[in-house]
Structure 1
Amino acid sequence: MALIRSWVDSANRADCPFPLNNLPYGVFSVAGAAPRCGAAIGTMIVDLADAEACGLLDAGGAFAQPRLNEFMALGRGKWDAVRARLTALLAEDGHRDLPLAPMADATLHLPIRVTEYTDFYASRNHAFNVGALFRGPENALPPQWTHMPIGYNGRASSVVVSGTPIRRPMGQLKGENGPEWAPCRRLDLELELGAVVGADSTMGERVSVDQAEDMIFGYVLLNDWSARDVQAWEYQPLGPFQSKALGTTIGSWIVTQAALEPFRSPGANRVNPLLPYLAEKRPGLYDLTVGWSLNGQAMARTNYNVMYYSSAQQLAHHTSSGCPMRVGDLLGSGTISGPAPDQTGALLEMTGGGRNPVMVNGESRTFIQDGDEIALFAQAQGDGYRIGFGPCAGTILPAQP
């Protein structure tokens, strides 16, 4: 697919993350106005609430809400109809009176009301590297890892939008003579993609992979901040708890499945066949370049298609017990890591558990320090255009002892 040209000139630049091919959704506000839904186009935001009030769009009043949940709940038919209508309105011969706000003048808000949050562990490279550090290479991957997506239920209450500071947590750490209470010393990031669920499922009923894919509204960048020393002390036998509850940062813009459709890609090679309930009829991953920086210095770059399980497989597995899903559920992909150190999505892997420091702007580092800013990026490259996700960044504040 080639670039779809728009009368919004900034959307036609080859390096623009928000061309007409993209049209990601978010929630924004400008001075004197309440938060409402918008769509990014070039350096502008379409005010979807005003556009609906003017009769240019029909979403049952959902766009006047301060979250996208009400719009998502209208279903895929409405998602497709609104996207088609927006594309026609913004095309070169479209409606030039569409209400726009400069992105530079807007404040971006958390785009969804996060109903529940589940984080997965779907990169074989990451799972092996971390498992080897915690349990040794011979026990790095548990026997079930190549048969089903491994995940845990996290905290929806600590999901925040890009730009929100994250405070270094206090926690129980393993000391010389037992546990000690101290600030986290091994604070880390996790480079992930989050799938936003846009449809409910029924308790007691399983969802197929095909149905699961149809339930996904779109994707956001996601950083699941991790207190590695807290995790090492608490994670056996039930897994992460406080080590992952300090905060999860997501990007402001939700990139839709429709925008990513041209970039479908198979994932990592299978070690063994999956059980039929996890089988995919078509590739469920995307050719997305992803990476992260620390204080402005690029640290790692890889591709989302290194993952072993897709979001649709994760969602299908999530319902395999009959667990119901809800509009606004968020599924973290798990850390996206390639095989090389400069392709890893966490400092834990990059530094070999802190044994191999890296240089950041001339300073030796192993883990995140107070005042550091971590920023994630993701983009898909098309024919004369790119699909961007916008920023997903957070700065670390000192602990409160």
Structure 2
Amino acid sequence: MLGGSQKYVTESSFGENSILKDDAQLRSKAFVKQNEAIMHLPARIGDYTDFYSSIHHATNVGTMFRSKENALSANWKYIPIGYHGRASSVIVSGTSIHRPHGQTLIADGTPPVFGTSKLMDFELEVAFFVGGKTNKLGQPISAKNAQDNIFGFVLMNDWSAKNVGTSISPWIVTTLALEPFIVDNYPQDPEPFPYLRHEDNFNFDIKLEVDIKPEGATVPTTICRSNFKNLYWTPKQQLAQHTITGCNMNPGDLLASGTISGETSDSFGSLLELSWKGTKPIRLNDGSQRKFLQDGDTIILKGKCEGDGYNVGFGICEGKLLPAINL
């Protein structure tokens, strides 16, 4: 439990018979100042899978790289698409990453060139940890009961170069804490196959923001305001799809939503979309512009659910892009 910035938790936080309230020495050992706390990954991550569940994001990307008429792939509305990522490069908020090296194809028909990534990006996501019940190899998890396998959620920034790093917030907001913020599932047409159907709502009103803070800037710029409820495929459907082959899940496995974009241009969850593939630069508070990330930029993801007189917060998920390492 952490207090406010540079403050200890006050005695009023404890009950009348609290041991911590009466024992100053024990209290000094049990609590730390928030600005001195060292954050860690909230679980030992066994496997990590990233989905592609936002219809607005998938439509935007498909429009840019194919056409508006052929934006979604033929199977997109039939199956929650996902890929297996690298659990080893999932990092806690506050960890910096270096711009990666790799091969780039400059033009069709020409050999690729080797160098540093030129189009580094962030991806606004929310991920959930598997917990509670698990399934045995060969036994799928039903979408109807998948909530029993979903422990809680974190913010995630899946940096665009994939295995270069995937940042998550350092604490888990449990599914139970999110129940007051359940909203209708996103309308699905055509109706999913039976193994992907669940009649209960498992979608949440989680308000999401992305800030970018350039090196030396005093004030960050909010460049995106989106919402978890924009996801077409629910977490229960993601988990059911992942296990339909009989894949066995383990506590600590991490499943991510994919980039969460809304309908309006200010709700797009990546610079690829916000700048529309670099054709519409984003102006920041310090007067600079961004098509994609520059070295020294810090990306800050925020999330919260707003109740009647209270909030359930996800905290922040932040990371700084450092220059590429000299090879």
Contact residue 267 and residue 306 of structure 1 kept, 8 A: no
**Matched residues, number:** 305
Contact residue 90 and residue 167 of structure 2 kept, 8 A: yes
Q: After superposition, give the CA deviation of every residue in 1:237-280 in whole Å (9 maximum; x if it has no partner).
A: xxxxxxx1111000011001111110011232222111111112
Q: Which amino acid aligns with 2:322?
A: L
137, 161, 164: which one aligns with 2:92: 161
Give the whole-Å Cα distance in 2 for the aligned partners of 1:358 and 1:139: 27
TM-score by length of 2: 0.88
Aligned equivalent of 1:268: 186
Please report how far the alpha carbon of residue 144 of structure 1 lies from its aligned counterpart in structure 2 after TM superposition.
1.2
Q: How does 1:2-401 map to 2 (within 5 A)?
A: 39=1, 95=18, 97=20, 99=27, 100-101=30-31, 102-176=33-107, 177-199=110-132, 200-227=134-161, 244-295=162-213, 296-360=220-284, 361-400=286-325, 401=327
Report sequence identity in percent. 43
Q: Which amino acid aligns with 1:353?
A: K
**SS of 2:105 mapped into structure 1:** strand
Give the whole-Å Cα distance in 2 for the aligned partners of 1:42 and 1:313: 38
Gapped regions of structure 1 (runs ≥ 5):
1-38, 47-89, 228-243
- 320-329 or 167-176, which moves further after superposition? 167-176
Q: After superposition, give the CA deviation of every residue in 1:100-158 in whole Å (9 maximum; x if it has no partner).
A: 41323311111111100000000000001011212222322111111121100000000
Q: After superposition, give the CA deviation of every residue in 1:308-342 in whole Å (9 maximum; x if it has no partner).
A: 01111101110000011111100011111001111
Give the whole-Å Cα distance in 1 for the aligned partners of 2:50 and 2:266: 23
**SS of 1:139 mapped into structure 2:** coil
Change (3 A) 1:149 1:369: same
Change (3 A) 1:141 1:320: same
TM-score by length of 1: 0.72
**SS of 1:187 mapped into structure 2:** coil
**SS of 1:204 mapped into structure 2:** coil
Q: What RMSD, in angstroms, separates the aligned Cα atoms of the two structures?
A: 2.0
Please report how far the alpha carbon of residue 41 of structure 1 lies from its aligned counterpart in structure 2 after TM superposition.
7.0
Gapped regions of structure 2 (runs ≥ 5):
22-26, 214-219
**SS of 1:391 mapped into structure 2:** strand
Give the whole-Å Cα distance in 2 for the aligned partners of 1:364 and 1:205: 51
Please report how far the alpha carbon of residue 226 of structure 1 lies from its aligned counterpart in structure 2 after TM superposition.
0.3
